[in-house]
Structure 1
Amino acid sequence: MKRLFVLLLLVLVAGAWAGQMMVTDSGYVLLAYNNTTVETTLWVFLVGVFIAFILLHLIFNLIFNTRLPTGRFRHWRAIKKQQSARRNTLKGLLALSEGEWSKAQKSLTRSAENFDLPAINYLAAARAAHENGDQAGADELLKKALKSTPEASLAVSITQAQIQVSRGQLEAALANLLKLRRKQPHNKQILSLLADVSARLHDWQGVADILPDLRRSKALPQENLNRLERETLLHLLHKQKTPTAGGSTPEPEQRVRHLQSVWVSMPETASSYDDVVAEYAEQLITAGDYKAVETLLRQRLETRWSETLIPLYGLIDSTKPRKLYQQAQKWLSVHEQSPGLYIALARLAAKCQLWSEAVGFYEQSLSIDPDLDTCAEFARLLQQLEQPEKAMQVMNQGISNLTAKLPDLPLPKPALKAD
């Protein structure tokens, strides 16, 4: 509409100028050939030339089915516009990669209409506008992208979700992504974004529901997928420690059944994560299902040894502790350098009231790994055995090992002892 108005204005100005020139000076044109002469005014001559041009153009179109150079001129202009759009698009994409958001938004938006794929320009310009803090501009550019290329609705929606996540609009992004997943259930980008948003919202059950599709579609690198799965399973198990809404604590048997149902619902890969198995085993121990813990840990340790899990074997209560003690001793022939196994043996020896053997196993564990918790556990036993000096020596050893890891800082000089 604006262009038409400007065109009409120019025509009116040109007409007024031409009329004024005609009144001021009509001009004179003389054409002569052999004995023939033609005299006319300049303005009549120009009108005649224009009419002849139009007639010639029509004759060529109707008779010879060809065009005068005006069509070529339009084609040349169109090519020039496309080349200019490509240059501006390239400048905009380079500016986007260099973090020059305003320049990128301006170049990409200006060249979008004449570019072969305008949606690309609008989507990139929307990212630039978002990075520049222009939220309204980003939303408007996304609308233009969808309007220019309706078949790019998926790409527009994914970009919108990414921008929403970056803005912190997690609930809106989640709703958007769930809607997209119903349409494209196996899209890698949608699954990856949905897992990220669900984790940020601490919706760990939601993440767990997505994990099988993430694994099948390979939407994440294997290392990242394993890390996400491990974190999700740990959070789901930690949640079982939280009291119910009424604040009541379930009975041990009820808690054990619930824990086992949660564990069974987890993927088979759950047993490959030591800390996940350890969390499940610790909760079973707390609930008092020692038989299930013993079976779980024994089968897992015989399949794959774990320094995280073996100390828990020593925490199992049993009416026949010597049976557990003998089982742990069998492992000693294969894992004689395992500090965790010596801790388990020391605990089981204490349950069997084999005090001297328990002391020996604690000393063996500390000789391999001087852990502070082990020092405290060993010192408590020594106190009960009426060996306070040795208990203090063990604790001092643990504290010395701990302080050796502290940063090197200036310390005051020790106070002089009085004679």
Structure 2
Amino acid sequence: MKRLFLLLLLTLVVGAWAGQMMVTDAGYVLLAYNYTTVETTLWVFIVGVLLAFILLHLMLNLLFNLRLPGGRFRLWRSASRQRSARKKTLQGLLALSEGDWQKAQRTLTRSAADADMPIINLIAAAKAAQENGDATGADDLLKKAQQAMPEASLAISLTQAQIQVSRGQLEAALANLLKLRRKQPNNKQILNLLVEVCSQLHDWQGIADILPQLRRNKVMTADRLARLEQETLLHLLKKQRIPAAGAPLEPEQQVRHLQSLWVTFPETASRYDEVVAEYVDQLMAVQGYKPAETLLRQRLEQRWSETLAPLYGLLKSDKPRKLYQQAQHWLSQHEQSPGLYLTLARLAAQCSLWSEAVGFYERSLEIEANLQVCGELARLLEQLEQPERATQVRDQTFRQMTEGLPNLPTPQPALNAAE
């Protein structure tokens, strides 16, 4: 509407100016060729030229649009328009890669009608429109693409899902992708987008459901898949810490619930120290010490872990000496493990072997300074009525942990400052 108004206004202004010029001076034009001359006013000559141009344009259009078999003009014009469309398509795609969204949208849209593959122009133009902030234009272009090539519905729907993700329409994108996944369950692009959307929605169960397909179809690198799997399993486990609605479960029921969840995890779950540690910690929190001990023992015998070793010392048992003997068995293979000495100290304390517990705590601190180990040892020494030794342990551990501090200026003693 605004353009029409401006056009009418411009026409009125030009018309008024031309009328004024005609009244002021009609002008004079003389055309001569051999012995023939034509005289007329300037304004009649201009009008004649415009009419001749319009007539010539109409005649050429009629000539080029003749549908005669093998019509050269029609074929020439079609080829010319295709060449022009290819050139503009290339310009539009270059503008898209350079981030010139407005130029890309305009060029690709205008060349779509004559392009060899208009679907490419329309999809690329829709992406440019979305980046340019023209949401309505992007939706319209995708509709045109669907009409132009219905058999390309997968590519169009994928583009639509990508646009929905960029707009933050995650639920709509998820519904779109789940529908596509039913048709193309092994499509890597669909699976990648599903991971992205589910991660943003914190739908960790959704990611867990497609982990086998991600691995089977090699959608991502092994390292990235391992990080994703570990993160997903950790979130699913930590979700169990949130109290469920209704009456709380008995400890035995909670243990069975955790075990049933663990069974659903892939076999690779036991490879991740953080996942095993979270599962064992939750089992111990609900007194599931027996399954926790079995898993920890098997895992530590298969592959040693400084993350998991200290947890073995937190297990509770009617026969703590059996656990203590198991930990001593590992000592021959892991003599420099601070986590194992911490476990031995904890289990020795459960067996009331106080002097051995102190010795193991001290050995753990010798290998690696650790505030938690220092705190446990100092507490035990105070309970054994050795407060001075407890203070000495704290000071020594503090000095060990602060050896790497930068050398900074320190204030002079107050006595020297007074002088």
1:186 maps onto 2:186 in alignment:
yes
C-alpha offsets along residues 184-205 of structure 1, whole Å, 9 cap, x if unaligned? 2221111221122112111111
SS of residue in 2 equivalent to 1:317: coil
Instruction: Write the distance in 2 (CA, Å) between the matches of 1:393 and 1:363.
Output: 12
Aligned residue runs from structure 1 range 14-163, under 5 A: 71-163=71-163
Query: Which residue identity is paired with 1:120?
Result: I
Instruction: Give the corresponding residue for 1:413.
Output: 411
Instruction: Write the distance in 1 (CA, Å) between the matches of 2:136 and 2:395.
Output: 64
Query: Which residue identity is paired with 1:140?
Result: D
In structure 2, do the counterparts of structure 1 residues 396 and 133 end up closer, same or farther at CA, with 3 Å as the change threshold? farther
Indicate if the aligned counterparts of 2:283 and 2:292 stay in contact, CA closer than 8 A.
yes
In structure 2, do the counterparts of structure 1 residues 401 and 147 end up closer, same or farther at CA, with 3 Å as the change threshold? farther
Query: Which residue identity is paired with 1:267?
Result: P
1:401 deviates by 4.9
Instruction: Write the distance in 2 (CA, Å) between the matches of 1:215 and 1:147.
Output: 36
Instruction: Give the corresponding residue for 2:217.
Output: 217
Instruction: Write the distance in 2 (CA, Å) between the matches of 1:405 and 1:120.
Output: 60
Instruction: Write the distance in 2 (CA, Å) between the matches of 1:272 and 1:307.
Output: 14
SS of residue in 1 equivalent to 2:352: coil
SS of residue in 2 equivalent to 1:176: helix
Instruction: Give the corresponding residue for 1:326.
Output: 325
1:324 deviates by 1.0
Instruction: Give the corresponding residue for 1:353.
Output: 352
Instruction: Write the distance in 2 (CA, Å) between the matches of 1:390 and 1:285.
Output: 32
Q: 5+ residue gaps in structure 1?
A: 1-57
In structure 2, do the counterparts of structure 1 residues 417 and 382 end up closer, same or farther at CA, with 3 Å as the change threshold? farther
C-alpha offsets along residues 390-411 of structure 1, whole Å, 9 cap, x if unaligned? 32233334444555667x5977
Percent identity, aligned pairs only, is: 66
Indicate if the aligned counterparts of 2:310 and 2:340 stay in contact, CA closer than 8 A.
yes
1:291 deviates by 1.5
1:274 deviates by 0.9
Instruction: Give the corresponding residue for 1:23.
Output: none
In structure 2, do the counterparts of structure 1 residues 118 and 364 end up closer, same or farther at CA, with 3 Å as the change threshold? same
Indicate if the aligned counterparts of 2:369 and 2:401 stay in contact, CA closer than 8 A.
no
Query: Which residue identity is paired with 2:211?
Result: L
Aligned residue runs from structure 1 range 261-340, under 5 A: 261-340=260-339
Query: Which residue identity is paired with 2:286?
Result: A
In structure 2, do the counterparts of structure 1 residues 370 and 81 end up closer, same or farther at CA, with 3 Å as the change threshold? same
C-alpha offsets along residues 122-167 of structure 1, whole Å, 9 cap, x if unaligned? 1111111111111111111111111111111111101111111111
SS of residue in 1 equivalent to 2:205: helix
Matched pairs, number: 352
Instruction: Give the corresponding residue for 1:37.
Output: none
In structure 2, do the counterparts of structure 1 residues 90 and 397 end up closer, same or farther at CA, with 3 Å as the change threshold? farther
Instruction: Give the corresponding residue for 1:390.
Output: 389
Instruction: Write the distance in 2 (CA, Å) between the matches of 1:315 and 1:228.
Output: 29
Instruction: Write the distance in 1 (CA, Å) between the matches of 2:287 and 2:155.
Output: 53
In structure 2, do the counterparts of structure 1 residues 399 and 249 end up closer, same or farther at CA, with 3 Å as the change threshold? farther
Aligned residue runs from structure 1 range 339-378, under 5 A: 339-378=338-377
In structure 2, do the counterparts of structure 1 residues 169 and 402 end up closer, same or farther at CA, with 3 Å as the change threshold? farther
Instruction: Write the distance in 1 (CA, Å) between the matches of 2:135 and 2:408.
Output: 52
Instruction: Write the distance in 1 (CA, Å) between the matches of 2:126 and 2:211.
Output: 31
Larger CA deviation: 320-329 vs 381-390: 381-390
Instruction: Write the distance in 1 (CA, Å) between the matches of 2:374 and 2:278.
Output: 23
Instruction: Write the distance in 1 (CA, Å) between the matches of 2:351 and 2:111.
Output: 82
Instruction: Give the corresponding residue for 1:251.
Output: 250
Indicate if the aligned counterparts of 2:112 and 2:122 stay in contact, CA closer than 8 A.
yes
In structure 2, do the counterparts of structure 1 residues 394 and 124 end up closer, same or farther at CA, with 3 Å as the change threshold? farther
SS of residue in 2 equivalent to 1:337: coil
SS of residue in 1 equivalent to 2:211: helix
SS of residue in 2 equivalent to 1:250: coil
Q: 5+ residue gaps in structure 2?
A: 1-65
Larger CA deviation: 74-83 vs 138-147: 74-83
Instruction: Write the distance in 1 (CA, Å) between the matches of 2:241 and 2:409.
Output: 43
1:364 deviates by 1.6
Instruction: Give the corresponding residue for 1:202.
Output: 202
Instruction: Write the distance in 2 (CA, Å) between the matches of 1:148 and 1:393.
Output: 82
1:277 deviates by 0.8
C-alpha offsets along residues 236-291 of structure 1, whole Å, 9 cap, x if unaligned? 11111111113x43111010010110111111111111111111111111111211
1:220 deviates by 2.1
TM-score relative to the length of structure 1: 0.79
Instruction: Write the distance in 2 (CA, Å) between the matches of 1:319 and 1:362.
Output: 23
